[in-house]
Amino acid sequence: MEFIIKAKDGAIPCLVTIDEDNGKYMLRNSDTSGEVFQNKEQLIQWIESEWYPEFFEDEDAYSQLLTMIRGNFDEI
């Protein structure tokens, strides 16, 4: 799965990629730097500590992103 979320400070949107079949958990920041994680839990922890709702053009998209990553699709 790929999730795109637009930050206020960059022309290029942030991208979160989760490929559980192949064990790939990655993200791209608005400055095009990236991070790679060993598992989904590490990815979620990083997002919660480094990204904030106010960072994004659509603040609700941040909560929706975390909900989708956790697999709680019914909450959206």
DSSP for 8-52, written as a single string: TT-SSPEEEEEETTTTEEEEE-TTS-EEEESSHHHHHHHHHHH--
**Kindly report the CA angle at 29 between 27 and 33, in degrees rounded to 5?**
90
- Answer whether 0.95 is exceeded by the pTM: no
Q: How far is CA 56 from each of CA 20, 22, 24, 35, rounded to the nearest angstrom?
A: 26, 29, 24, 18
Does 72 score more than 90 pLDDT? Answer: no
Q: What are the tens digits of pLDDT across the range 9-56?
A: 989 999 999 998 999 999 999 999 999 999 999 999 999 999 999 999
> What is the pLDDT at residue 71?
85
Is a pLDDT exceeding 80 seen at residue 73? no
Residue 44: count other Cβ atoms within 10 Å of its Cβ.
Answer: 17
